[in-house]
Amino acid sequence: MSERITSTTLAVAAIAAALSTSALARGPIELRDIDGDGVVSAEEIRTLAEEQRAARLAQYDADGDGELSDTEKDAMREAMRAERLVTADTDGDGELSRAERRAARDAQRDMMEAQLDVDGDGVVSDAEGAGFDEIREERREDDGRRHGGGGRGGERAELAI
Ligand SMILES: [Ca+2]
Ligand SMILES: [Ca+2]
Ligand SMILES: [Ca+2]
């Protein structure tokens, strides 16, 4: 295990999963350095997640009451599943095999790492990864609370992709 790379890689996978399985998010959020200071800060990730949540709400709130009913949530999940199938079901058999799931997760991780690597030098530096790490810690704590403790939220979230 080579510490920094492994932990960042796992972190990206975990946060991608956490964000994609959170209430109104579909798939990974797009990480952008909004203020151009060279790092995607935790605050920027929160802003982007909130933007995505709002967009999802706008898209699936069929009756426009500002909330997603169970029916609307079901419709959203169904649409998300269908969308994921379109991109990840490479052999087109209508199912996601273990290999297809893995490939989709790897692609998602690579994409998020590339987005975190704001200066494009091919490495997510400690500074570049700091905001992400902060969000990951938050999510892990949330996950621990929700599931009654245990520090394995990251792994569980990863499996949930
Ligand atoms: Ca920034
Ligand atoms: Ca398939
Ligand atoms: Ca970099």
Q: How many Å apart are CA 39 and CA 71, to the nearest integer?
A: 39
Would you state the pLDDT for residue 124?
97
Q: Is residue 151 part of a domain?
A: yes
Residues with CB under 5 A from ligand 3 (ion): 117, 119, 121, 123, 125
Q: Give phi and psi for 21, each to the nearest 5.
A: -100, 0
Q: Is residue 119 part of a domain?
A: yes
How many angstroms does the Cα of residue 92 sit away from the middle of ligand 2? 5
Q: Is residue 1 part of a domain?
A: no
Residues with CB under 5 A from ligand 1 (ion): 33, 35, 37, 41
Would you state the pLDDT for residue 9?
57
- Look at the chain and report how many structural domains it folds into: 1
Domain hosting residue 98, numbered range = 11-159
Q: Is residue 18 part of a domain?
A: yes
pLDDT tens for the chain, residues 1 to 161 = 445 555 555 555 555 555 554 433 445 688 999 999 999 999 999 999 999 889 989 999 999 999 999 999 999 999 988 988 999 999 999 999 999 999 999 998 999 999 999 999 999 999 999 999 999 999 888 888 776 544 444 443 443 33
Q: Is residue 5 part of a domain?
A: no
Q: Is residue 2 part of a domain?
A: no
Would you state the pLDDT for residue 8?
57
Would you state the pLDDT for residue 142?
84
How many angstroms does the Cα of residue 72 sit away from the middle of ligand 2? 27
How many angstroms does the Cα of residue 131 sit away from the middle of ligand 3? 13
Q: Is residue 42 part of a domain?
A: yes
b vs e for 62-75, b when ≥16 Cβ sit within 10 Å of the residue's Cβ? eeeeeebeeebeee
The full DSSP string for 30-84 is: PP--TT-SSS--HHHHHHHHHHHHHHHHHHH-TT-SSS--HHHHHHHHHHHHHHH
Residue 45: name the closest of 27, 21, 19 by CA.
19
Residue 73: name the closest of 89, 60, 87 by CA.
60
